[in-house]
Amino acid sequence: MKELYLLYASAASLGFVHTILGPDHYLPFIVLSKARKWSSNKTMWITFISGIGHVGSSVLIGIIGIALGISLNKLEYIEAFRGEIVGWMLFAFGIGYTVYGLYKYVKNSHHFHLPDFMVPKRIRGLQHLPTEEIKEDNTKLTPWLLFLIFVFGPCEVLIPLLIFPAYENSTFGMLTVALIFGIATISTMMLTVFIGHKGAAMVKFKKHEKYLHLFAGVLILVSASGILFLGW
């Protein structure tokens, strides 16, 4: 029984630590919520659903692996392979969003007007009107892409350090360990994103809003590069 209590404590601490040490767990939500002007509620819901997908996929793989008698080495290989896939998925998302940011910058820039002598007099003044203020983007594609990426994202420490040892004691212990780890991970994600979201909201980019999507894309790309090439 003492071993289970120790695993419970480990599940809570590992859930917190592995989330805090992985910027990919919260940085995309913070920068995208700022760029796309998501409300706090929307940002928290997207983070929550993505967190469930992130933890739930690893728990499901661990339980199915145990039920089918798959060895720990093979399950670790599956998780490592998933980690490589999600790194490239996030990298591709970062590239795509950076390109989108460049498009939004060009679209909202004040510096791409034709010379006055090339524009008819009746519409000459219209091209110097201020661009429309950027409003909240209600596109549903971005949240679904984030969710998909996090579903593929493995919790590397969960299966070898928690699920397998807990299963040796009892099935109930295994499920409890998975639940505690999930609560710790998702709570840490949501708390970190909430703090980052509120902090970003205090920074005003009124004159530089046209750069926000580009900035978000570059930061996501940097985060993905850290996963792929620096082992973050």
| Between 114 and 229, residue with greater pLDDT | 229
- The confidence score (pLDDT) of residue 208 equals 64
- The confidence score (pLDDT) of residue 164 equals 87
- The confidence score (pLDDT) of residue 130 equals 47
- Least-confidence region, from 48-62, 112-126, 186-200: 112-126
Distance CA 154, CA 83 (A): 6
- The confidence score (pLDDT) of residue 206 equals 65
- The confidence score (pLDDT) of residue 3 equals 82
**Cβ pair 28, 146 in contact under 8 A:** yes
Helix (H) or strand (E) holding 151: helix 141-152
Q: Taking each helix axis as running N to C, give the angle between helix 27-35 and helix 40-67, from 0 to 180 degrees, rounded to the nearest 10.
A: 150
Read off the tokens for 174.
């295994």
The average confidence (pLDDT) of the chain is 84
Domain boundaries, the chain: 2-109+137-229
Helix (H) or strand (E) holding 103: helix 72-108
Residue with tokens 């350090």: 161
Give the DSSP letter of residue 111: S
Report the predicted TM-score, pTM, of the whole model to 2 decimal places: 0.82
Read off the tokens for 96.
């795509």
pLDDT category, 207, cuts 50, 70, 90?
Answer: low
* Residue 38 in this model has a pLDDT that exceeds 70: yes
**Cβ pair 232, 23 in contact under 8 A:** yes
Read off the tokens for 209.
């809003």
